[in-house]
Structure 1
Amino acid sequence: MNLEPLRLWLEALRPDIVVVALCAARLVPIAFLCPLLGGQATPTTVRLGLVLTLSLFLRVEARVELVTPVESSLELAALVVRELGYGLSVGLVAALPFDAARMGGRFIDLFRGTSAEASLPAAGSRESATGDGLYHLLVALVVSGGLFPQVLAGLLRGFGVVRLGAFVPTEAGTLHVVALAGGALATGLAVGAPVAAATLAVDCFLGMASRAAPQVNLQEVGAPLRILGGGALLWLGVGVLCERLLAGVLSTDGALAMLGEAAR
């Protein structure tokens, strides 16, 4: 059997295969970190299929190419590692608004005392019901609204800002990611601050009431008041919380553009 035509065909496709592999190396961390491209809840096969589809789209339709041809396998491995590093940075930045929603929900449950671990100790779960609820609510709002195409366009536009093989780890890029992580943490704390203040006010009121009337047992009333009061405040303010979190998603495009400028 003559395999020479097959060898020549694969040799002709070698530049395309290299570009698709490098695009996939950058997209894999994003697909595993950002919930808009799958996240941790999506099966691995689905995420890898999406990565392959986007990589083929970038090569065939967007005409993404490698400026310098790859001469050896060692050079290709170095480029793959470089693209994985940049994809990890982009994935972290794109996932920060959703992580802020989860952090805010866990902060709320910490003060309300209504985490799944406390309410269902036999289940052995350590997840926060409010944290997961805000997280999935934000994902649903972004996907069903007009922000999803904008975020996806920002992720794919990065291939034009930082071309394949052009990523250079810099101090400015690292500091930018750290600053964005700190902003996400501040957003999470701001989301949970009203409920935390309400639960602390309930504890303060019960403490003063117990001091004024020690014969009345108010310890059993504290937990239900924190749960009900915090839940009512969360229900009333969920619209404001979602607007705050959606503003973080809206700023993702600009954050990715600044990261690209600092990383090339």
Structure 2
Amino acid sequence: MITFSSADIGAWLATYLWPLARVLALLAVAPALGSFAIPVRVRIGLGVLVTLIIAPGIGPVADVGLVSPHALLILGQQIAIGLAMGLAMRMVFSAVEMAGEVAGLQMGLGFATFFTSRSDGSTLVVGRFAGLLATLVFLSLDAHLLMLSVLAESFSALPVSAGALSSDGWQRLVLWGGVIFAAGLQLALPVIAALLIVNLGLGILTRAAPQLNLFAVGFPITLMVGMVALMLSLPHFIPIVEAAIMQGLETMLGIAAGTRG
């Protein structure tokens, strides 16, 4: 008769519990797979499925009791690691949406907003369009599968143990945030530059003809020029997003490895 002791059951559960915490934390903030459009049950089921696939190959985990302060510490560390890796990729989409929102504000579409449950607030339509375009690029590159592959590799770079994510890993996440948001501003620069020239021209025109109704004339012009500039910049938009996604995947692994980029 086969019998199992409580220690055996605890060790078996720990083999799957610690990786599950890291996987679910990443899926909670990761783009596409962590979208609020996906039901919570589906995301949890996906996390469990990924854990069942990854866990047997990650090697031994920390041998601690599941009901102990040490276990809670390891659980918190795995959640922090998963969140940090997911945020590295989420920043790419946030920067792209920021670029769209900045461009939309310059075009005069600040009033054309709609409610989104993801951020519990209003979002500019141009920012939403840029976010959807980035999501399509993300899925077309199979980056969601690459992201899960990087997650699996992270267990080799940073195994499940009492060791926390190093300060270099957190520093890399902070530096990556600065780089990617600067790239987002650069994405919006063509539209901003074009509309700046238009606004300067409208300002000179208003000084030359004060009786001119600036709101009746200026808004259609800025909207049209903004749309044309956005259309002309789209062919250059996709390669930049692709490069940012690939760099985001490298940053995810670098965060787990605790190395500086």
- How far does the alpha carbon of each residue in 1:40-75 deviate from its partner, in whole angstroms, 9 at most, with x for none? 332211111111111111123xx1233431135112
Q: Which sits farther off after the overlay, 106-115 or 68-77? A: 68-77
The answer on whether the counterparts of 1:30 and 1:37 sit within 8 Å (CA) in structure 2 is no
Counterparts in 2 of 1:85-234, with a 5 A limit? 85-115=80-110, 118-119=111-112, 126-165=122-161, 167-234=163-230
State the aligned residue count: 255
1:255 maps to 2:251: yes
The aligned amino acid for 2:75 is V
Per the TM alignment, residue 13 of structure 1 is displaced from its structure 2 partner at its CA by 4.2
Q: Percent identity?
A: 23
SS in 1 for 2:64: coil
The answer on whether the counterparts of 1:28 and 1:48 sit within 8 Å (CA) in structure 2 is yes
Counterparts in 2 of 1:69-84, with a 5 A limit? 69-71=63-65, 73-74=67-68, 75-84=70-79
Within 2, Cα distance between the matches of 1:127 and 1:259?
30
Q: Which sits farther off after the overlay, 162-171 or 220-229? A: 162-171
SS in 2 for 1:195: helix
With structure 1 as the length reference, what TM-score do the two structures score? 0.87
Structure 1 residues 71 and 14, CA gap change in structure 2 (3 angstroms): closer
The answer on whether the counterparts of 1:105 and 1:132 sit within 8 Å (CA) in structure 2 is yes
Unaligned runs of 5+ residues in structure 1 are none
Within 2, Cα distance between the matches of 1:120 and 1:91?
27
Structure 1 residues 10 and 130, CA gap change in structure 2 (3 angstroms): farther
SS in 2 for 1:73: coil
The aligned amino acid for 1:66 is P
The answer on whether the counterparts of 2:26 and 2:86 sit within 8 Å (CA) in structure 1 is yes
The aligned amino acid for 2:112 is S
| Structure 1 equivalent of residue 231 of structure 2 | 235
Structure 1 residues 31 and 122, CA gap change in structure 2 (3 angstroms): closer
- How far does the alpha carbon of each residue in 1:222-242 deviate from its partner, in whole angstroms, 9 at most, with x for none? 111111211121112112112
| Structure 2 equivalent of residue 16 of structure 1 | 12
Per the TM alignment, residue 173 of structure 1 is displaced from its structure 2 partner at its CA by 1.9
SS in 2 for 1:127: strand
Unaligned runs of 5+ residues in structure 2 are none
The answer on whether the counterparts of 1:32 and 1:40 sit within 8 Å (CA) in structure 2 is no
SS in 2 for 1:8: coil
Within 2, Cα distance between the matches of 1:106 and 1:175?
27
Structure 1 residues 42 and 250, CA gap change in structure 2 (3 angstroms): same
Per the TM alignment, residue 213 of structure 1 is displaced from its structure 2 partner at its CA by 2.1
The aligned amino acid for 1:101 is V
With structure 2 as the length reference, what TM-score do the two structures score? 0.88
Within 1, Cα distance between the matches of 2:37 and 2:5?
39
C-alpha RMSD over aligned residues: 2.5
